[in-house]
Amino acid sequence: MTALASAAAELGWEGWVARRQAQMERWLAEQLPADAPAGLADAMRYAVLDGGKRLRPLLVLAAWEATAAHHDVDPPATEPVWAAAGAVELIHAYSLVHDDLPCMDNDVLRRGKPTVHVQYGQAQALLAGDALQALAFEWLAAPPWADRDPALAVALVRELAEAAGAHGMAGGQAIDLACVGRRLDRAALEDMHRRKTGALLLASVRMGALAARAPAAVLAAISAYGRALGLAFQIVDDVLDVTGDTAALGKTVGKDAAADKPTYVSLLGLEGARACADALLQQALAALQALSAPRAQGLAQLARWVVQRQH
Amino acid sequence: MTALASAAAELGWEGWVARRQAQMERWLAEQLPADAPAGLADAMRYAVLDGGKRLRPLLVLAAWEATAAHHDVDPPATEPVWAAAGAVELIHAYSLVHDDLPCMDNDVLRRGKPTVHVQYGQAQALLAGDALQALAFEWLAAPPWADRDPALAVALVRELAEAAGAHGMAGGQAIDLACVGRRLDRAALEDMHRRKTGALLLASVRMGALAARAPAAVLAAISAYGRALGLAFQIVDDVLDVTGDTAALGKTVGKDAAADKPTYVSLLGLEGARACADALLQQALAALQALSAPRAQGLAQLARWVVQRQH
């Protein structure tokens, strides 16, 4: 019996999600600085804690559970998978803090709370985001586990830095900035989203599999899953920006249309966008067939959750 | 004959500086992305290239030359010291880009050129800074050398992430934000500067020595040098903000006083601040006595350069 098979058998899908979310919340609360100078720790903790579905850490953990030679309900506390899950969430959190700034999306509401710059001021929000990015790499290189397996730590740093950087998330955001009011064709829209949100989602599952020391063929299957899921996530995001409601999403809806940003809905229509997301879900599930079905069920459920979510 | 001894003998001090600056400029120009999407590469290159004295890379290289078992004029291209020097410079460059933003220091001139947000807009400047930070860690974890010595790569990532993060540079900037218009005592001012500028200068020499696989006693001497130099640098910066001129410095002078920021000059007076910088220079030079004098001459010259510079 494998990790997730046993965890799922004991906990069920919803029990698994709730358990991993709670573990991650606790891990983040313990690892985030409590004493950085001049309110910086407060702003960092506010940006990260008590919010979000923790989709990226769940993907890291589910990919680890799908591929690791491990049989308990929980990954051991000494495994690098926790640092990988935490680091990915820090990169996500910092990107939201910077993305919400007035010079970017100028958003005042995030996860149902005032955004970091509304709460702490723009300068502190900028610094908190910068410090969160540095902390992500600090966690990946932290003792004791990074000293025990430095080759893995290097692989994780490389994966995350590339996903976050100029050819990944930051590059996608630069395209996003440049294309307001312009019509992108489908290939250009896909390229933007593969970078802007897809790269970090792909990195999440790859880092989980890397942390599990998965062989190359398994890593390839996980990557195919991650690429399909990453794009599906963004398409559903575009759909929800039209059909969702602000209270349930915890962020302002209708902003893309108001900002005249190209989206999958503006390109394919609502039904076309939904059909595209469903097709990508099937692709993601098909990629998992290279893994044993019981072990891959966490990733399969996460893919369904991403595509069928209402917020 | 050791590296710097031979390099200095052949080139002289000014020749050594010019050679290393030119090598670093070429290395950065080759390694920075040329093709990141939507103008992001342009903004990143603008932020980094063709500017600055490259003090931090020079410190990395001089510390390496002072401690490595190496006898050529130049560190070999395959040595991680180049990536370390480049990564430190990226962190410095990104911090300047973010620091110049309107929500921070709102500066329009840097290294004699319009600041990045003046040239490319605030949003692109924010993203360029974010991408430069990610790239710094990508370089430290890059093949082939990080695969050959992953334990060293992990040590460098850890050193740089800690220096850049909440307890280092970002934390120092948070104190800086919080203390405008307040009077800090000397201990608080020193704490701010040890983080804000000192942490990265200290990391520079430590990363050079780590890349050289220096033994613990040598690393301790290098660290003592770096701590004294880091603080001296900031005191001289405070002095130059009063006595320097905008054209020579390539940035706006008199801003600290105008912003009512506490400085060493406001605390100790101009002569008191100068005397303090001189005392720290002597401390830095004394720390180098643990190293062989010919090998340490690059670090000694850099310390004199920092304290006696006019811009």
Is A199's Cβ below 8 Å from some Cβ in B?
Answer: no
Is B33's Cβ below 8 Å from some Cβ in A?
Answer: yes
For the segment B289-294, the average pLDDT, to the nearest whole number, is 88
Is B171's Cβ below 8 Å from some Cβ in A?
Answer: yes
- A265 has which bridge partners? none
- A110 has which bridge partners? A113
Inspect the interface and report whether the beta carbons of A166 and B41 lie closer than 8 Å: yes
Cβ–Cβ under 8 Å, residues B253 and B178: no
For the segment B151-175, the average pLDDT, to the nearest whole number, is 97
Is A180's Cβ below 8 Å from some Cβ in B?
Answer: no
Inspect the interface and report whether the beta carbons of B126 and A133 lie closer than 8 Å: no
Q: Residue B184 burial (CB < 10 Å; 0-12/13-18/19+)?
A: middle
Q: Which of A37, A122, A178 sits opposite B103 (nearest CB)?
A: A122
Share of chain A above pLDDT 90, in %: 78
The yes-or-no verdict on residue B249 having pLDDT over 60 is no
The yes-or-no verdict on residue B6 having pLDDT over 90 is no
- A109 has which bridge partners? A114
Inspect the interface and report whether the beta carbons of B38 and A178 lie closer than 8 Å: yes
Q: What is the pLDDT of residue A255?
A: 67
Q: What's the CA gap between A100 and A108, in Å, rounded?
A: 7
The yes-or-no verdict on residue B187 having pLDDT over 90 is yes
Inspect the interface and report whether the beta carbons of B36 and A167 lie closer than 8 Å: yes
- For chain B, the domains span 3-220
The yes-or-no verdict on residue A228 having pLDDT over 60 is yes
Q: What's the CA gap between B203 and B163, in Å, rounded?
A: 6
Specify the residue for token string 């020595």: B209
Q: What is the pLDDT of residue A261?
A: 78
Write the CATH number of the domain with boundaries A3-308: 1.10.600.10
Chain B positions touching A38 (Cβ under 8 A) are: 171, 174-175, 177-179
Share of chain B above pLDDT 90, in %: 78
Listed residue (A288, A164, B35) closest to A156, CA to CA: A164
Element (DSSP H or E) covering residue A28: helix A3-31
The yes-or-no verdict on residue A175 having pLDDT over 80 is yes
Give B43-86 as a DSSP string: HHHHHHSS-S--HHHHHHHHHHHHHSS--SSS--TTSTHHHHHH
pLDDT tens across A95-131, in order?
999 999 999 999 999 988 999 999 999 999 999 999 9
Question: What global pTM score does this model have?
Answer: 0.95
Q: Please, which residues have CB within 8 angstroms of residue A188's CB and are 6 or more apart in sequence? A: A175, A179
Is A134's Cβ below 8 Å from some Cβ in B?
Answer: yes
Is A135's Cβ below 8 Å from some Cβ in B?
Answer: yes
Q: What is the pLDDT of residue B262?
A: 83
Is B254's Cβ below 8 Å from some Cβ in A?
Answer: no
The yes-or-no verdict on residue B241 having pLDDT over 50 is yes
Is B86's Cβ below 8 Å from some Cβ in A?
Answer: no
Is A151's Cβ below 8 Å from some Cβ in B?
Answer: yes
Chain B positions touching A123 (Cβ under 8 A) are: 103-104, 177
Query: Sorting pLDDT into bands at 50, 70 and 90, what band is A1?
Result: very low
Is A33's Cβ below 8 Å from some Cβ in B?
Answer: yes
Q: What's the CA gap between A43 and A128, in Å, rounded?
A: 6
Mean pLDDT, chain B, integer? 92
Inspect the interface and report whether the beta carbons of B174 and A141 lie closer than 8 Å: no
Chain A positions touching B155 (Cβ under 8 A) are: 141
Inspect the interface and report whether the beta carbons of A166 and B135 lie closer than 8 Å: yes
Inspect the interface and report whether the beta carbons of B173 and A127 lie closer than 8 Å: yes
Q: What is the pLDDT of residue B1?
A: 44
Inspect the interface and report whether the beta carbons of B134 and A165 lie closer than 8 Å: yes
Q: What's phi and psi for A113, nearest 5 deg?
A: -120, 160
Cβ–Cβ under 8 Å, residues B65 and B295: yes
The yes-or-no verdict on residue A207 having pLDDT over 80 is yes
Cβ–Cβ under 8 Å, residues A61 and A85: yes
Residue of A97, A130, A135, A145 to mutate, testing the B interface (most B Cβ within 10 Å of its Cβ): A130
**Which of A241-250, B36-45, B127-136, B251-260 has the highest average model confidence (pLDDT)?**
B127-136
pLDDT tens across A245-263, in order?
665 656 666 666 666 778 8
Q: Which of A133-142, B106-115, B242-251, B258-267 has the lowest mean pLDDT?
A: B242-251
ipTM above 0.85, yes or no: yes
Q: What is the pLDDT of residue B255?
A: 67
B3-220 CATH fold: Farnesyl Diphosphate Synthase (1.10.600)
Listed residue (B127, B97, B135, B138) closest to B114, CA to CA: B97
Chain B positions touching A179 (Cβ under 8 A) are: 38
CA distance B230 to chain A (A): 19
Is B278's Cβ below 8 Å from some Cβ in A?
Answer: no
Q: What's the CA gap between B31 and B138, in Å, rounded?
A: 11
Q: Residue A14 burial (CB < 10 Å; 0-12/13-18/19+)?
A: exposed
Q: Which of A177-186, A261-270, B241-250 has the lowest mean pLDDT?
A: B241-250
Inspect the interface and report whether the beta carbons of B135 and A103 lie closer than 8 Å: no
Distances (CA, A) of B123 to A170, A259, A286, B39, B292: 11, 15, 39, 12, 49
Inspect the interface and report whether the beta carbons of A38 and B135 lie closer than 8 Å: no
Is A138's Cβ below 8 Å from some Cβ in B?
Answer: yes
Residue-wise over B46-62: b if at least 16 C-beta within 10 A, else e? bbbeebbebbbbbbbbb
**Higher-pLDDT residue of A9, B132:** B132
The yes-or-no verdict on residue B2 having pLDDT over 60 is no
The yes-or-no verdict on residue B230 having pLDDT over 60 is yes
Is B115's Cβ below 8 Å from some Cβ in A?
Answer: no
Q: Please, which residues have CB within 8 angstroms of residue B129's CB and are 6 or more apart in sequence? A: A130, B47, B94, B95, B97, B98, B116
Share of chain A above pLDDT 70, in %: 93
The yes-or-no verdict on residue A3 having pLDDT over 90 is no
Inspect the interface and report whether the beta carbons of B126 and A98 lie closer than 8 Å: yes
The yes-or-no verdict on residue A221 having pLDDT over 60 is yes
The yes-or-no verdict on residue A15 having pLDDT over 90 is yes
Cβ–Cβ under 8 Å, residues B106 and B100: yes
Is A172's Cβ below 8 Å from some Cβ in B?
Answer: yes
Query: Sorting pLDDT into bands at 50, 70 and 90, what band is A45?
Result: very high
For the segment B186-201, the average pLDDT, to the nearest whole number, is 95
Q: Give the orientation angle of helix B264-287 with respect to helix B293-308, to 10 degrees.
A: 170
Which amino acid makes up residue A209? A
Is A37's Cβ below 8 Å from some Cβ in B?
Answer: yes
Q: How many residues does chain A have?
A: 311
Q: What letter does residue A103 receive in the DSSP assignment?
A: T
Q: What is the pLDDT of residue B251?
A: 59
The yes-or-no verdict on residue A267 having pLDDT over 70 is yes
